[in-house]
Amino acid sequence: MDQGEINALRAQPVAPRGHLINGEICPSQTGEVAEVLSPIDGRVLTTTAAGTAEDAARAIAAARAAFEGGRWSRMPPAGRKKVMLRWADLIEAQALELAVLGVRDNGTEIAMAIKADVGSAVNTIRYYAEAIDKVYGQVAPTASDILGLVHHEPVGVVAAIVPWNFPLMIGTWKLGPALAAGNSVVLKPAETASLSLLRIAELALEAGLPPGVLNVVTGAGRVVGEALSMSMDVDVMVFTGSGGVGRRLLENASRSNMKRCYLELGGKSPNIVFADAPDLSKAAKVSAAGIFRNSGQVCVAGSRLLVQRSIHDEFVAELAKHAGAMKVGDPLDVATDAGAINNLTQLEQNLRFVELARSEGAQLFQGGQRILEDTGGYYMEPTVLTGVKPGDSVAQQEVFGPVLAVTPFEDETDAIAIANSTDYGLAAGVWTADLSRAHRMVRAVRAGVVHVNTYGGPDITVPLGGVKQSGNGHDKSLHALEKFHDLKTAWIQL
């Protein structure tokens, strides 16, 4: 990455943005806009359309018309594949511009934005493009005078609501399989991270995606998200975000047309370090990155560190050394290791969790403060809390910030009990040189993904989904297509 090129891109003004509905950029029905504050310096970056229920309805109608018209849903698979591959190429060609735009909007450090946001988006779209003409129906084993066929059909109109931490990565986890299956989509980005998703939707049109197949409506979740979830003409809703919002979406689905809802609702992921870990220094360094990169704003972040008591003090000191060496600051500086907190409300919540943890008996081992306040931006020190009990608030509730809760454990049985003691079950990590123990832990820890002797990194080829209150359904891999297909049986008398 060239710092000069990044600086030139950050200096460019960002034009006000409208919705993208039926292939056209348009304002809100009311003409109202919302200011976009950059977390880098707290200043107004641009404005986006403040969406209304009527805007959502227009987008849904456009998506329905496109679907029923068949210009995408009935396009031959090879044609859809060609468009999606061209789309990925266009995103890749503008990777740095998209990354800088996204960082100015949401605060992720630029190295992470290039690799995990834009890079993941390109890989995801290509993956599902290549899958389009390789997904077959089935012939059932029936009686000799019957032909039983199982067809895979697109579900219709998909509403997707995505968060602000990795808008392109998580957005394309929804868009890739939904569009590959032949559906039309209405996408609602987070209010604080809409710009890069609006841009790649424009690139989709440039690639040849027919108007109305992908629509983007910006605005508040309580308005636009509510309208999408209550719509009688949305067939499937997919969402990544908080448990409270997920419950609201489920309620609205039941009150409207009982649309299917697939929810990824975050986690409180245990990262478990046994005394026999093969390389404790590596484990400490990777574990620090696993909670403090992107300032802890990662759904699978290893936010609970469980350390076997015999190595507890040594390991925590080593991890704190790595955390203390991380450079927190301007996310558009290539030397920065951890960027900004996305918004002031989130930063204040992080700080309240630190104080709550201390009031419940935890010790502040490191960090815990807002920093660089003179920049106007939203920055926080990597924070390590020790002496955290399994039932403490900071061990049970998702902080979604650079706050690590450390708890000692005695043995394998104790580690499993503590790991499984929350309502969440999204991710976990296990560090051990004992292969049998590793397999036992993978089976015993209730989580959708269990990392062994690493933390983070699973690519698009494997599914990501949670158990318990971390949600249902899966993003990534071929399994994600299941959310966006209906099965239709043909029972033919020969």
448 with 464: CB under 8 angstroms? yes
Contacts of 440 (CB under 8 A, 6+ apart): 412
Task: Provide the sign of the torsion angle of the four alpha carbons 251, 253, 254, 256, taken in this order.
Answer: positive
Instruction: Assess whether 264 carries a catalytic annotation.
Output: yes
List phi, psi (to 5°) of 411.
Answer: -150, -175
Give the integer Cα–Cα distance in Å for 208 and 5: 29
- Residue 327 is classified by DSSP as P
Bridge partners for 141 per DSSP: none
List phi, psi (to 5°) of 440.
Answer: -65, -40
The beta strand positions in 253-371, using DSSP E, are 260-264, 270-273, 304-308, 363-366, 370-371
Count the Cβ atoms, other than its own, within 10 Å of residue 433.
Answer: 13
Residue 336: which region, alpha, beta or left (left: phi > 0; alpha: psi -120 to 50)? beta
Catalytic residue among 109, 191, 264, 398: 264
Q: Do the strands 157-161 and 19-21 form a parallel or antiparallel pair, or are they unpaired?
A: unpaired
41 with 222: CB under 8 angstroms? no
Give the integer Cα–Cα distance in Å for 341 and 328: 10
304 with 269: CB under 8 angstroms? yes
Q: In Å, how far are 74, 406, 484 from 139, measured between CA atoms?
A: 22, 53, 21
Which segments of 226-297 does DSSP mark as H helices, in order? 226-230, 243-255, 280-292
Give catalytic residue positions.
264
